């Protein structure tokens, strides 16, 4: 099975976590695109979704889902999203699609975070995938200098986020303490958010493997 088939497999498996009648949080990325398509085909009754990107909002609306703003809801039941890397403690690197800040915001109000990922995303230590950091444009140079102090090599991505900011992808990190690094990077003036999801990691991991979908729950 190729990577896309594994993504489709986990996307479909995540339907079992959707609670009919509850507001659903929807992440961003190619795996989530497959999830949105599977959701539309499932006929499950979802009163409304809260989306983490313009891209997902567009796809959801095209398929007939009602999409609400975060400020219109008190909370979210399940939040389904992909990851660029996930470790054994359910800490993640996210933001390969550039939606890390909105993903973090939506995840923060969700009761349950279901991560859907193909097997290549499961790693012993985070950091091989360059760590995305969303930055206010005027602070790019200053933030890049601070990020070098952590041993990484920040490279500006040719991309503007849905929030009008820029992204530095930090190469060359080996992230042994994700929660501590997340907190430290968040303290740098000019950083909007870092694509380390440790303070609020996943609760459930659905991993698409050649042997089928494996489910792991955070203890």
Annotated catalytic residue, options 85, 103, 134, 182: 103
Cα angle: 152, vertex 195, 77; to 5 degrees:
165
**Is 87 near ligand 5RP (CB under 6 A)?**
no
* 23/45 Cα distance (integer angstroms): 10
**Residue 64 CB-density burial (10 A; 0-12 exposed, 13-18 middle, 19+ buried):** exposed
176 belongs to the catalytic site: no
Overall residue count recorded for the chain in this entry: 219
Q: How far is the CB of 96 from ligand 5RP (least distance, A)?
A: 3
**Is 28 near ligand 5RP (CB under 6 A)?**
yes
Q: How far is the CB of 84 from ligand 5RP (least distance, A)?
A: 5
- Window 166 to 195, contacts with ligand 5RP (CB under 6 A): none
For the beta carbon of residue 54, count every other beta carbon within 10 angstroms.
13
* 206/192 Cα distance (integer angstroms): 29
Q: How many residues bind ligand 5RP (CB under 6 A)?
A: 17
CB-based contact 11:214 (threshold 8 Å):
no
* Nearer to ligand 5RP (CB atom), residue 132 or residue 152: 132
**Is 108 near ligand 5RP (CB under 6 A)?**
no
Stretch that binds ligand 5RP, among 88-96, 144-152, 169-177, 178-186 (CB under 6 A): 88-96
Residue closest to 39 by CA, chosen among 54, 58, 20 = 20
For residues 8 to 27, the per-residue mask of contacts with ligand 5RP, x marking binding by CB under 6 A and - elsewhere, is: -------------------x
Catalytic residues: 103
Please report, as ranges, the residues that interact with ligand 5RP according to CB under 6 A.
27-31, 81-84, 94-100, 103
């Amino acid at each position: 099975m190729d990577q896309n088939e594994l993504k489709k497999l986990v996307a479909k498996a995540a339907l079992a976590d959707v609670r009919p009648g509850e507001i659903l949080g929807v992440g961003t990325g190619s795996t989530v695109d497959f999830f949105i398509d599977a959701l539309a085909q499932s006929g499950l009754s979802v009163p409304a979704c809260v989306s983490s990107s313009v891209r997902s909002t567009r796809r959801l609306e095209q398929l007939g889902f009602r999409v609400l703003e975060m400020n219109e809801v008190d909370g979210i039941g399940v939040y389904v999203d992909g990851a660029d890397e996930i470790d054994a403690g359910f800490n993640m690197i996210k933001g390969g699609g550039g939606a890390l800040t909105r993903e973090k915001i939506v995840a923060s109000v969700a009761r349950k975070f279901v991560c859907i990922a193909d097997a290549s995303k499961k790693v012993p230590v985070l950091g091989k995938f360059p760590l995305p950091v969303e930055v206010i444009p005027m602070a790019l140079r200053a933030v890049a200098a601070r990020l070098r102090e952590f041993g990484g090599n920040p490279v500006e991505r040719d991309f503007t986020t849905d929030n009008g900011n820029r992204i530095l992808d930090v190469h060359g990190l080996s992230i042994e303490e994700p929660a501590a690094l997340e907190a430290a990077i968040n303290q740098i003036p000019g950083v909007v958010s870092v694509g380390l999801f440790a303070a609020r990691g996943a609760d459930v991991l659905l991993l698409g493997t050649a042997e089928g979908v494996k489910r792991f729950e955070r203890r």
